[in-house]
């Protein structure tokens, strides 16, 4: 007669609240991931107190079943559009120190009837930037990488391709620098709302056209002029619409990579956190430039990071162990 599986008591609810999506993680006492959920309830459509109420309703079943379990939220929950503004921590930042700087959600907003804490964001003032760059959410992914990928030698550079890409330099458990590039948003605007839009089309990934765009970015610094080159190639039918789309993608990604490497110095290996389709493009461009890359699961890193930070703060008094989904 087989024994029933041991019952794991929930110890933490973790939230990764982004611009468009929210992810929730229910952890057991030893960091085991008991359950997870995702929904399109991000800050862009549910800001401020309305966002608190929306997420609270979405989590109702967990909250009712586990009335005393604390909650830890990262990402846009601590932004000006979020639940409560949480200060940024400056670089260089030891990732193990994040748990020492949590902000407790104020009583007027805290209708959860439990302890709710917010993870701080990070700011960086690069010598040549002229402004202080900022981010929220990615620091939690970085804090969880060692636990999520114990077999992996930590890359010195992490890139998070998406709408606003973050270039993150690490050394010895510290975040040394960050730089944000609006490549994804610029591509979307050009693709959907510019004079280029009618000339572009989706299709299977054309690596040759993509790398031709990467090469053009390396050879020519006049990026505003080169953007019109997309239209010129299209109206003269030098490339079909799908290939032209990949050429534009390569041009933008090429300018981003060349600029980031010029600002931060050479690198041998880069970790990529993002959607498979997008990380494939960056991996292709990096390989073409002689830089190895490894794709990492952002959700896996975020869940591990939430548990690690909560443990640092004493919210969960058990070491991180099995972070795989229990069944």
Determine the 3-state secondary structure of 90 from DSSP.
Answer: strand
316 pLDDT tier (thresholds 50, 70, 90): confident
Residue 145 lies in a domain: yes
Same domain membership, residue 145 and residue 15: yes
75 close to 140: Cβ distance less than 8 angstroms: yes
CA distance 204 to 106: 50
Question: What pLDDT, on a 0 to 100 scale, did the predictor assign at position 246?
Answer: 98
Question: What pLDDT, on a 0 to 100 scale, did the predictor assign at position 109?
Answer: 64
Same domain membership, residue 199 and residue 74: no
Return the closest-CA partner of residue 88 out of 162, 139, 44, 42: 139
Same domain membership, residue 284 and residue 304: no
Residue 47 lies in a domain: yes
Q: What is the mean pLDDT of the chain?
A: 91
Residue 324 lies in a domain: no
**Phi–psi pair at 124, nearest 5 degrees:** -145, 135
Q: What domain range is 224 assigned to? A: 183-296
Q: What CATH number is attached to the domain comprising 41?
A: 3.30.420.300
Residue 317 lies in a domain: no
Tell whether the model's pLDDT for residue 317 goes beyond 80.
no
Query: CA 63, 65, 68, 73 torsion: positive or negative?
Result: negative
Place of tokens 């069944």: 327
Residue 235 lies in a domain: yes
Q: What CATH number is attached to the domain comprising 285?
A: 3.30.420.310
Helices and strands, number each (H, E), in the chain: 9, 15
CA distance 314 to 38: 26
- For the entire predicted model, the pTM comes to 0.90
Q: What is the DSSP letter of 257?
A: H
Same domain membership, residue 306 and residue 265: no
Q: What is the mean pLDDT of the segment spanning 156-160?
A: 95
Residue 167 lies in a domain: no
Q: What is the mean pLDDT of the segment spanning 144-149?
A: 94
Tell whether the model's pLDDT for residue 72 goes beyond 50.
yes
15 close to 24: Cβ distance less than 8 angstroms: yes
Same domain membership, residue 85 and residue 39: yes
Same domain membership, residue 57 and residue 143: yes
Tally of domains in the chain? 2
Same domain membership, residue 268 and residue 283: yes
């Amino acid at each position: 007669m087989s024994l029933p599986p041991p019952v794991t008591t929930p110890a933490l609810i973790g939230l990764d609240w982004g611009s468009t999506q929210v992810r929730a993680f229910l952890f057991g006492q030893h960091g085991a991931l008991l359950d997870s959920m995702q929904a399109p309830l991000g800050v862009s459509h549910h800001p401020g107190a309305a966002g608190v109420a929306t997420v609270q309703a979405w989590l109702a079943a967990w909250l009712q079943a586990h009335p005393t379990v604390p909650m830890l939220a990262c990402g846009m929950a601590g932004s000006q559009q979020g639940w409560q503004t949480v200060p940024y921590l400056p670089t260089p930042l030891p990732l193990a120190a994040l748990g020492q700087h949590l902000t407790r959600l104020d009583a007027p907003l805290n209708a959860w009837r439990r302890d709710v804490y917010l993870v701080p964001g990070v700011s960086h003032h690069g010598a040549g930037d002229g402004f202080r760059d900022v981010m929220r959410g990615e620091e939690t992914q970085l804090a969880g990488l060692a636990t999520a990928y114990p077999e992996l030698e930590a890359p010195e550079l992490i890139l998070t391709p998406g709408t606003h890409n973050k270039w993150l330099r690490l050394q010895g458990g510290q975040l040394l620098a960050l730089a944000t590039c609006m490549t994804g948003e610029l591509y979307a605007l050009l693709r959907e709302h510019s004079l280029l839009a009618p000339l572009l089309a989706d299709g299977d990934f054309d690596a040759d056209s993509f790398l031709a765009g990467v090469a053009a970015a390396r050879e020519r610094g006049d990026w505003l002029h080169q953007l019109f080159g997309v239209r010129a190639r299209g109206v003269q039918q030098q490339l079909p619409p799908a290939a032209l789309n990949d050429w534009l993608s390569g041009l933008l990604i090429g300018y981003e990579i060349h600029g980031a490497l010029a600002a931060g110095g050479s690198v041998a290996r880069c970790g990529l956190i993002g959607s498979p389709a997008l990380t494939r493009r960056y991996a292709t461009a990096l390989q073409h430039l002689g830089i190895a890359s490894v794709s990492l699961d952002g959700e896996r890193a975020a869940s591990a990071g939430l548990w690690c930070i909560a443990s640092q703060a004493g919210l969960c008094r058990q070491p991180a162990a099995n972070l795989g989904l229990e069944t």
